[in-house]
Structure 1
Amino acid sequence: MAFSGYAQLLADRSVRTLFIAAFFARIPMMAAPLVLTLYVVDDLDGTYAQAGIVAAATTVGAAIGSPWRGRLIDRLGLRRAILPSIIAIGILYPLATLATYVWLVPVAVLMGLFLISIFSIVRLSLSVMVEERQRRTAFSADSIIAEASFIVGPAAGVLLVTQAGADAALYAIGACEVVAGLIFLRLDPPTRSARTDDEPAPDPAATKAPFVSAPVVFLFLISGGTMATLIGTDLGIVAELRELDKVGAIGFTYGLWGLSSLLGGLVYGSLNRSIRPTYLLLALGLTTIPVGLGGEVWSLSLWVIPTGFLCAPTMTAAAEWIAKLVPEERRGEAMGWQGTAFTIGGAASSPVIGAAIDEVGAWGGFVVGGSIATVIALVCWGGQLIPAFRPSNYASVDDEVGDSSR
C-alpha cells in the first residue's frame, strides 16, 4: 500500500478544486430523491407507491440522459453540453412545486433527463487530469468524496423539509444544483488530453467509431450488479430494523456501512495493483448474502461492515477499467453508459428485492441482492475466459493496469 499517493494527488490544485466542487455538487443530488418522496406523500397527500412512480420516472430520464450527455461532452465539450441542463434544472424544480401529481411524473422524467451527471464528469476529467498510474487513487478518492456527500445529502434534505417544508426544499435543491452547474461551467475541467503542436489532430471518425466490446459490456453488467447489492443492503437494513422495532438505529447502521465503504475506497486507492472488478463483485455479493443473519442491531451493524468495505472498490475498479479500455474520444459516452448501468441495475433489482422482503422478511433482501451480484460476477468471469471476449487492444489488461501503478 502507498497512502502517499493521495498526498501527491491532492497536491495538484486543479484536482483538489475538482474534488471540492464534486462534494458540494453531489449533496443536493443525494437529497433530491428523499425530498421528492416526502413532497408526494406529505404535500400532495399521495402514497408511497405514487412516490415510487415518481422515483422510477426520474430513473428512466436519467438512464436515457446519461449516455446522451456523455456523448455531447465528447463532441461539444463540457460547457456546451451542461448549459442546457443548468437552464432546465432552474425551471423544472420550481415547476415541480406547482404541478399536480399527474404532471409531476413527466416533470420528474425531465429532471432525470437533464440531471448533471457529476459522477461521469468527474471520472472523465480525472482520467485525463492525472497520470494513468494515479488513476486508481484518483477514482478511489472520488468514491470517498461521494460517500461523504451521501452521508450529508439525505440528512440535509430531511432538515430542509422539517424546517421549511418540502416545496421550499425543492426550491433550495434546484437552486443548489444550478449553482453547482455554474461552478462546473466556470471550472470547465478538461475532458480531453492536451495536444502538443507536433501531435496530429484527432480523427473526427474516432468520435463515431464503436467503443462497445464484450469486456466493456461485462463492466456495465458489473456496475449494475454492484447497484443490486446496494439496493438489497439498503432496503434490507430498513426492513430488518423495522422488524426489530429499532428504526431509530438506522443512522448508526447506515453510518457504519458508509464509513466501511469509505475505508475500503481509501485502502483500494493505496494499492499498487488493480483488482479485477469481477472478483470484487463476487466478493461483494457473497458478503451481502449473510447480512440477514444479524438478529440484533449490533450484529446487523457488524455484518454490513465487510460488504460496505467492498462497495467503493468495486465501483472504482469498474470505472478504472472502462477508462483503460475505451478510447479517450468516446470515454464520456462510456462513462454515461456506466451511469445508466447503475441506474438500470437499481431499477431492475428493486422490485425483486422488495418482493422478497415482503414474502420472507428482511433477510430476503440481502439474499436476493447478493445473489444477483454473485450470478452476474460468475457470468462475467466465465465470459472473460473466452478468448474472443478478451480485450483486443491490450495483450494483457491485467498486466498493464497493474504495471501502470508501479
Structure 2
Amino acid sequence: MAFSGYAELWANKPVRALYAAAFFARIPALAAPLVFTLYVVGELEGTYAQAGFVAASTTVGAAIGMPWRGRLIDRIGMRRTILPSIIGVGVLYPLATIATYAWLIPVSFLMGVFLIPIFSIVRLSLSVMVEERQRRTAFAADSVMAEASFIIGPAVGVLLVTQAGAATALYAIGASEVIAGLIFMRLNPPTRSKPVADVPPTEAPAVKTSFMSVPLVFLFLISGGTMASLIGTDLGIVAELRELDQVKVIGLTYGLWGVSSLLGGLLYGSLDRSIRPTYLLLALGLTTIPVGLGNHAWSLSLWVIPTGFLCAPTMTAAAEWIAKLVPEERRGEAMGWQGTAFTVGGAASSPVIGAAIDGVGAWGGFVVGGSIATGIALACWIGQLIPAFRPERHAMVDPPRSNTT
C-alpha cells in the first residue's frame, strides 16, 4: 500500500478543484430524493407510495438521460452538454413547488433526464487528467468524496425541510444545482486528451464503431448488482431498527456504514494492483447476506461494517475497468451507461427487497439484496472463465498525452 498517491493527486491543482466541485455538487443531488419524499407526504398530503412513484419517475428519466448526455460529452464537449441541464434544473425545481401531484410526475421525469451528470463528468475527466497508474487512486478518492457527500446530503435536506419547509428546500436545491453546473462550466475539466470543447459540432470527429463488449456488459451487470446490495442494506437497516424500536440510533448505524465504505475506498486506492470487480462484488454480496443476524442496534451497527468496507472499492474497480476497456473517445457514453446500470439495478431490486422485508422481516432485505449481488458475481465469474471474455484481453492502451492536461 502507498498513500503517497493521494498526496500526489491533491498536489495537482486542476484535480483538486474537480474533487471540490464534485463534492459540493453531489450534496444537493443526494438531498433531493429525501426532500421530494417529504414534500409529497407533507405539503401535498400524499402517501409514501405516491412519493415512490415520483422517485421512480426521476429514476426512469435519469436512466434514459445518462447515456445520451454521456455521448454528447464525447461528441461536443462538457460545456455544451451540461448547459441544457443547468437551464432545465433552474426551471424545473421552481416548477415542482407549484405543480399538482399529477404534474409532478412528468416534472420529476424531466428532472431525471436533465440531471447534471456529475458521476460521468468526474470519472471521465479523471481518466484523462491522471496517468493510468493513478486511476485506481483517483477513482477511489472520488468514491470517498461521494461517500462524504452521501453522509452530508440527506442531513442537509432534512434540516432545510424542518427549518424552512419542503418547498423552500426545493428552491435551495435547484439553485445549488445551477451553481454547481456553472462551476463545472467555469472549470471545464478535460474529457479528452485533446480538448474538444471549443470544436464546432460539425468538426467533431465521428466515431461510429461500437465500444460494447461482453466484458463491458459484465461490468454493467456488476454495477447493477452493487446497487442491489446497497439497497438491501439501506432498506434492511431502516426495517431492522424499526422492528427493534431503535430508530433513534439510525444515524450511528448509517454513519458506521458510510465511514467503513470511506475507509475501504481509501485503502483500495492505495493498493499497487487492481482487484477484479467480480471478486469484490462476490465479497460484497456474501457479507451483506448475514447482516440481519444483528438482533440488537449495536450488533447491527457492527455487522454493516464489513459490507460497507467493500462498497466504495467495488464501485471504484468497476469504473477503473470501464476506463481500461473503452477507448477515450467513447468513455463519456460508457460512464453514462454505468450510471444507468446503477439506476436500473436499484430500481429493479427495490420492489423485490421490499417484498422480502414485508414477507419475512428485516433480515429478508439483507438476504435478498446480498443474494442478488452474489448471483450476479458468480454469473460474471463463470462467463469470464471463457478466454475470449476475460477483461484483460480487451483492455485499451491510452495514447500518450502532453502535460497540458
2:257 aligns with 257
Aligned residue for 2:257, secondary structure, equals helix
* Deviation sequence 1:61-96 (CA, Å, 0-9, x none): 000000000000000000000000000100000000
Cα displacement (A) at 1:137? 0.1
* Cα distance in structure 2, aligned partners of 1:328 and 1:203: 14
| Residues 1:34 and 2:12 are matched in the alignment | no
Q: Which residue of 2 aligns with 1:404?
A: none
Q: Mind listing any 5+ residue stretches in structure 1 that lack a counterpart?
A: 196-201, 402-406
User: Hey, what does 1:108 align to over in structure 2?
Assistant: 108
The one-letter code matched in structure 1 to 2:386 is I
Equivalent position amino acid for 1:204 in 2: P
In the alignment, what sits opposite 1:330?
330
Give 1:21 deviation, angstroms: 0.4
What is the rounded CA distance, in whole Å, between the counterparts of 2:81 and 2:42 in structure 1?
35
Aligned to 1:187: 187
Q: Retained in 1: the 8 A contact 2:76–2:204?
A: no
Residue 234 of structure 2 aligns with an amino acid whose one-letter code is D
In 1, distance between residues paired with 2:155 and 2:208? Answer: 43
Distance (Å, rounded) in 2 between the aligned partners of 1:165 and 1:395: 54
Mapped to 1, the partners of 2:204 and 2:40 lie a distance apart of 49
Match of 1:378 in 2: 378
In 2: Cα distance, 1:372 partner to 1:223 partner: 12
Q: Decide whether the 8 Å contact of 2:325 with 2:394 is kept in 1.
A: no
Shift of 1:204: 3.1
Aligned to 1:226: 226
Secondary structure of the equivalent of 2:218?
Answer: helix
Distance 2:232 2:238 in 1: 10
Deviation of residue 388 (structure 1)? 2.9
TM-score by length of 1: 0.94
CA gap of 1:313–1:72, structure 2 versus 1, over 3 A, is same
Distance (whole Å) between structure 2 residues aligned to residue 29 and residue 281 of structure 1: 26
User: Which residue matches 2:402?
Assistant: none
Distance 1:299 1:157 in 2: 28
Residue 209 of structure 1: CA displacement? 1.1
Q: Provide the identity percentage.
A: 81
Deviation at 1:389, TM superposition (A): 2.1
Equivalence for 1:23: 23
- CA displacement, residues 183-238 of structure 1 (integer Å, 9 cap, x when unaligned): 0011000000138xxxxxx9934x22100100000000000000000000000000
TM-score of the aligned structures, taking structure 2 as reference length? 0.95
Contact 2:75 2:204 in 1 (8 A): no
Number of residue pairs matched by the alignment: 391
Instruction: Tell me how far 1:395 sits from its aligned partner.
Output: 4.0
The structural deviation recorded for 1:387 is 2.3
Question: Which segments of 5 or more consecutive residues in structure 2 lack a partner in the other structure?
Answer: 196-202, 399-405
Taking the aligned partners of 1:146 and 1:276, their CA distance within structure 2 comes to 21
Counterpart of 2:209 in 1: which secondary structure?
coil
Find the counterpart in structure 2 of residue 169 from structure 1: 169
**CA distance, structure 1, for counterparts of residue 98 and residue 9 of structure 2:** 45
Q: 2:322 touches 2:334 (CA, 8 Å); kept in 1?
A: yes
Q: Which amino acid aligns with 1:310?
A: L
Aligned to 1:199: none
Paired with 1:187 and 1:165, the residues of 2 have a C-alpha distance of 33
Q: Is 1:204 aligned to residue 212 of structure 2?
A: no
Aligned residues of 2:75 and 2:205 also touching (Cα < 8 A): no
Q: How many Å separate the matches in 2 of 1:148 and 1:93? A: 24
Letter aligned with residue 77 of structure 1: G
Q: Secondary structure at the match of 1:204?
A: coil
* Alpha-carbon shift at residue 397 of structure 1 (Å): 5.2
The residue type equivalent to 1:17 in the other structure is A
2:40 maps to amino acid: V
Give me the whole-angstrom Cα distance separating, in 1, the residues matched to 2:122 and 2:332.
10
**Which residue matches 2:52?**
52
> Is the partner of 1:209 in helix, strand or coil?
coil
Q: Deviations over 1:311-369 (max 9, x none)?
A: 00000000000000000010000000000000000000000000000000000000000
1:359 paired with 2:359, answer yes
- RMSD over aligned Cα atoms: 1.5
Cα displacement (A) at 1:390: 2.9
